[in-house]
Amino acid sequence: MNRIVERFIRYAKIDTQSDPKSTTSPSTNKQFDLAKLLKNEMEYIGLKNVTLSEKCYIMGTLPANTSQNLPKIGFIAHLDTSPEYTATNIKPKIIEHYDGNDIILNEQKHIVLSPKQFPELNNYIGQSLITTDGNTLLGADDKAGITAIMEAMEYLIDHPEIKHGDIKIAFTPDEEIGLGTQFFNLEKFNADFAYTIDGGKIGELEYENFNAAEAKITIHGRNVHPGTAKNIMLNALQIAFEINNFLPPNQRPEYTEGYEGFFHLTKLSGNVELAELEYIIRDHNKLEFDKKKNLIANAVFILNDRYGTDTIKIELKDTYYNMREKIMPVMEIVHLAERAMREAGIEPIIQPIRGGTDGAHLSYKGLPTPNIFTGGHNFHGKYEFLPVKSLEKAVEVIVNISKLTIQNN
């Protein structure tokens, strides 16, 4: 087993799942298990000023090895794994020289990773893959990112002939529940720009993401015996259906792609007397984003007018914005990443993120932060897999960015 594979598996086996119901930061103490290990490794390989905060943020610096006045680059990944699927007792499997056939993840449960369902597997025939055992997620989101950063730092330390400026490293908790930058100390991090290493397939380079909001709707019904309900009953569940029917069916996640936004109903619960709905609202375009929020708010207004004031209450809250607005004035950092990929023999795939990223929050806090691939596929579930060559290329891109900075100045 080569070092990069061993390193990834060592990190992946540590359960760092975050918890959206938690009121603490970090949301789970087990994220410290990986954080403490990383702190020790960072100090061991030679990074300086390594710190681990009480909120589980790790930072460190690879000092410049040249007297040139160069920008300070940051590389960031997150510690936690998704709460959407179990991360307990992860047992990664290594598939050497993938032959293009079905991969039996779990024979007892008949769980198969097949190119029939996941045709992207065909891109990796002949390569080594890391998969799950069919019982858990793998955790490449984002332990592949952590691995790539640590490998790149160790490579730069072992090759002092590669000149670079100050390189800043950070590993954050709770990204998967939208809180990855809540206590991120930008002044302490002290980078001029950064990259999250948190993308998917090889070549991905992203500097656009959704504008995002969440809507929580509560409906107060009136329950009476159905035999005498005429003109009296208000069925909260039926009103919930009416709200959902106001929203365009073609603007649901399962019918959208690329720059298309959506309304995603994530929760519907209740009874005749009381019902609750929760939506996430997404769009890359700010104008379309505002239209979507207005549409769902107007649906509530119209139905309140129909059924009585305060029958329905809505809480509508923005959660993050498209970082494109903050990246466009400094597009040279995107071009730097493009060049770093091409020098690694990779054609960049520039596309919008159909989700959010720590980079969006950081960009709006003043640290422009595009996103770079890790190589993983099928995140957050048992069909997750990571091509080893893609992970190695992520390391190469980080190294290239670090050394190209000196050529650009």
Catalytic: which of 80, 166, 208, 384?
A: 80
Token readout for 352 is: 């919008």
Q: Is 80 a catalytic residue?
A: yes
Q: Kindly list the distances between the CA atom of residue 126 and the CA atoms of 20, 98, 148, 351, 373, in Å, as whole numbers in the listed order.
A: 39, 5, 22, 27, 21
Q: Kindly list the distances between the CA atom of residue 124 and the CA atoms of 113, 127, 395, in Å, as whole numbers in the listed order.
A: 13, 5, 18
Catalytic: which of 141, 175, 176, 206?
A: 175
Give the active site residues. Answer: 80, 175
